[in-house]
Amino acid sequence: MVVAGFSDTSAAALQTLLCSLDFSFSSVTIINAGGIGGQSVAPGISAAGGAGGGGFAPGSAKDRYLSHLGLASSCEIVDDVLIGIDRESRILSLASGHQVTYGVLLLAPGIQDQTIVRLSDEINAFVEEYHTRPPIIAVHELDSALTPDVVADLTDSATRGRPTVVFGESEAAVEAVHKLLAAGLPASAIRLELPGRIPQATCAVPLEEATVESETGRGVAAIMVKAVQAAEAQGGVNPLQGLLMHGPPDPAWTSMITGVDDVGEDFVSVTITESDAVSGEQRETTMGGRLFVTCDAPSVDLDMFRSLDDAGIVFDGRIVVDAAFRTNDSAIFAAGPAARFSQRYGTQLYQEHYNSLELGRLLGKSVVRHFEAEIRAPFAALAGTQPQNSNTVNNDLRNQSSSLSTGSSSVVVNHAAPATLPVLLCPRVTTCVFGGAGEGDDAGSVFLYAGCPDAMKAPRLGAPPGGKILEKYGSGTGGALLRLNLDAELKIHSVVCMGPKTEETMRLVRLAGLHSSYLGNIVNEMGSGLIQDLAETLNQPWMSALYEDSFTDLRRQLVTGAVQSSVAMPAMSRPGSPTAGAESEKALDEATVKLGAIEATVSFVRANLLSMYAV
């Protein structure tokens, strides 16, 4: 098995696979530019250039998987770039000239800002002439770049009008601000430039409607700045005091870095192209600074796209997969921000809006089921039964098949596309920690934005149209911001928090995606003034169950049982006469769904009885 890209998604998938009780995966290769966290690379494999990198901050999800699973010792790690896929021979070509064979290929490279790739010709020409690179870097390069001497230089340059420019409004921009502040750079030395760009692939609403409660920015980075300002209005300390946020004056205008204008000993100037999405008008300007950190609209790496396109893997803005995370090749799986679900399941189902760790765990389970089907296939063939139904065909992914050798004959395993999407319940979370002495639960203050997929498509500080904002502060919660944004159906669309980094604060992100009824009668109680402090209410003892991992497992079993029951109903024979009427059918549907929920609950209680008793 070969894993291309080391991301949160692939790390979670590897945990599921390596901890499987049914299979022992003894031959796993990870291909990633930069290795994984500085771990040693496979003998004979040389490093190669390319966008994206293996670096990550200590304490990240990938760092935890490294330490817990010992991936460096259990997997072969190849520091290289995937540039070609031979599906017939199952051979991967790497930028270094080496080749790697695979039985099953997992694609989880994530998505990155492509500014460096776009400027590669100019950057390479500059390097060739001056033997140094202009100070324009991607966010993943900050970990190695921010030495004490560099931070001192950036701080000094800012006093002379040459700030460090974070160009972008994506989650990567929030990460960049966090890394710069954590390295000791004052907020007053940072300029957050909001290009006003939502990738066309992820824009779920018309451009003129995709705005936050501000005239600049439509991404989560702008939400962070506005949340800090709102907390400051409550009497809190502004950890971004002095940070300059700038963006297009008109929501119709967008901007992007299109060239390197000039480079001096202690500055760099870039060409900015501004565009009017309505009239099509364009204009060019320049922007200067000491360092540019590019965090613009992310996309799939160009080398990855070319290798997929040449191999005939279906690509539509992202790698297209079915509900089992399979591409149009049954031996190639994909998940995470670089993938999207087939349009047969709906539109705008881009996985970058979902929780990457949850996607990774489900990807691992899907791969396990893949091997289970192939192991059972020869025995099913000998018994004269078909191992899987293969009469489902989707719009852009046909049912896949693979061959197994059984002696002198070959058995074909049909992989039918699942009828429904997997149950995805965990919200996607963006975090930025300010100050504090360490990475513990009580270190400084924190900005949190957690949302359901719709909330991540078009982030906003407040509630979506037709929704409500739940916000109430007591006498002891001054200087903090806490909002539960409900949609028109009173589901928790997003959770926005800016305040002390405590365990009680961090766990609130788990509420995103729940219906407000899980919180009791909180909507009516807020409306009637019975709740004086929202944070205190959300941390009542009886609500503690909502923040447990096992509660999410229970919800997943309930929802899965309900979905499976509802999908199975049309194929079931119904009692009574054929003219029993729509009402009896509806009642039977509801009864079946309830029965599935009850069975799931009983199964969950039985499986967790001992731990529940201990509590």
pTM of the predicted model, to two decimals? 0.81
Residues 140 and 111: their CA atoms lie apart, in Å, by: 12
Give me the pLDDT at residue 493, please.
95
Q: Which of 238, 265, 299 is the last residue of a domain?
A: 299
How many whole angstroms separate alpha carbon 32 and alpha carbon 25?
19
* Predicted local confidence at residue 567, as pLDDT: 60
Task: Retrieve residue 230's tokens.
Answer: 């709102």
Of 28-37, 98-107, 291-300, the least confident: 28-37
**CA angle at residue 170 from 323 to 215, to 5 degrees?**
125
User: b/e string for 287-298 if b means 16 or more Cβ within 10 A?
Assistant: bbbbbbbbbbbb
Q: Is the pLDDT of residue 165 over 70?
A: yes
pLDDT confidence bin for 253, thresholds 50/70/90: confident
CATH number for the domain that contains residue 375? 3.50.50.60
pLDDT of residue 579: 40
Q: What's the start-to-end Cα distance of the chain, in Å?
A: 40
Task: Kindly state whether residues 390 and 326 are assigned to the same domain.
Answer: yes
Q: What does the DSSP 8-state code read for residue 350?
A: B
Confidence of residue 483 (pLDDT cuts 50, 70, 90): very high
Q: Does residue 528 sit within a domain? A: yes
Same-domain pairing of 252 and 399: no
Residues 334 and 219 grouped into a single domain: no
For residue 269, give both structure tokens: 């100037």
Beta-sheet strand order (sheet of 76-78): 76-78, 29-31, 2-4, 105-107, 332-334
Helix, strand, coil percentages (3-state) for the chain, rounded to 5, are: 35, 20, 40
Which stretch of 128-132, 178-182, 564-568, 572-576 has the lowest confidence by average pLDDT? 572-576
Q: Binning pLDDT at 50, 70 and 90, where does residue 232 land?
A: confident
Q: Is residue 463 part of a domain?
A: yes
190 in Cβ contact with 176 (< 8 Å): no
Pairing of strands 99-101, 91-94: antiparallel
Residues pairing with 429 in the sheet? 450
List the beta strands (DSSP E) in 312-427. Answer: 319-321, 332-334, 339-341, 400-406, 409-415
Q: CA nearest 339: which of 353, 210, 331?
A: 353
Q: Are 434 and 447 in contact (CB under 8 A)?
A: yes
Q: Give the per-residue pLDDT at 167.
A: 95
Same domain as 209, residue 128: yes
* pLDDT score for 104: 94
161 domain-assigned: yes
Taking residue 495's Cβ as centre, other Cβ atoms within 10 Å add up to 25
Which residue type sits at 283?
A: R
Does residue 532 share a domain with residue 437? yes
Whether residue 175 sits in one domain with residue 142: yes
Q: How confident is the model at residue 478, as a pLDDT?
A: 60
Looking at the fold, whether 27 and 122 belong to one and the same domain comes out as no
Q: Domain check: are 51 and 146 in the same one? A: no
Copy the structure tokens of residue 69.
Answer: 């699973």
Residue ending a domain, among 547, 573, 599, is 547
pLDDT at residue 400, as a whole number: 57
* Cβ-proximal residues to 447 (8 Å cutoff; 6+ apart), any chain: 174, 224, 227, 228, 430, 431, 432, 434, 497, 498
Q: Mind spelling out the 3-state secondary structure of 440-454?
A: CCCCCEEEEEEECHH
Q: Which of 483, 495, 502 is nearest to 444 (CA)?
A: 502
Q: Tell me, what's the pLDDT at 473? A: 83
Asked if 80 and 94 touch (Cβ cutoff 8 Å), the reply is yes
336 has pLDDT over 70: yes
Whether pLDDT at 189 is above 90 = yes
pLDDT of residue 249: 67
pLDDT at 58: 37
**Average of per-residue pLDDT across 26-44:** 67
For residue 140, is pLDDT > 50?
yes
Contacts of 206 (CB under 8 A, 6+ apart): none
pLDDT reading at 202 higher than 70: no
In a domain, 347, yes or no: yes
Domains of the chain: total: 4
d(CA 353, CA 363): 16
Tell me if 399 is assigned to some domain: yes
Which has more pLDDT, 33 or 612? 33
What pLDDT score was predicted for residue 555? 83
Q: Are 375 and 21 in contact (CB under 8 A)?
A: no
Quick one: pLDDT band at residue 214, thresholds 50, 70, 90? Answer: very low
The residue segments making up the domain with residue 475 are 428-547
Q: Do 408 and 287 fall into the same domain? A: no
Answer yes or no: is pLDDT of 453 > 80. Answer: yes
Q: Does residue 421 belong to any structural domain of this protein?
A: no
Residue 96 resides in a domain: yes
CATH code of the domain containing 481: 3.30.390
What does the pLDDT average to over 156-166?
A: 94
State both tokens at 570: 């049309």
pLDDT in tens, 392-444: 434 445 455 555 444 434 444 566 778 889 989 999 999 998 875 444 444 68
Task: Please say if the pLDDT value at position 129 is more than 60.
Answer: yes
Looking at beta carbons, which pairs linking 232-239 to residues 24 or more positions away fall under 8 Å? 232/479, 234/473, 234/478, 234/479, 234/480, 234/481, 235/478, 235/479, 236/445, 236/478, 236/479, 236/480, 236/481, 236/498, 236/499, 237/445, 237/479, 239/181, 239/187, 239/434, 239/435, 239/444, 239/445
For residues 592 and 577, what is the distance between their CA atoms, to the nearest angstrom?
19
What CA–CA distance (Å, rounded) separates 146 from 150? 6
**Amino acid 3: pLDDT:** 95
Backbone angles phi, psi at 590, to 5 degrees: -65, -40
Alpha-helical segments (H) within 234-335: 302-311
> 307 and 279 in one domain?
no
Q: Of the residues 273, 299, 325, which one is the last residue of a structural domain?
A: 299
Is residue 436 in a domain? Answer: yes
Mean pLDDT across 573-587: 45
- 357 and 462 inside one domain: no
Tokens found for residue 477: 């919660």
Of 362-371, 461-470, 484-493, 597-606, where does mean pLDDT reach its minimum?
597-606
Sheet with 190-193, edge to edge strand ranges = 136-138, 291-294, 164-167, 190-193, 244-246
193 and 253, same domain (yes or no): yes
pLDDT digits (tens, 9 = 90+) for 43-86: 333 222 233 333 333 345 555 555 566 666 678 889 999 999 99
Of 196 and 586, the structure prediction assigns the larger pLDDT to 196
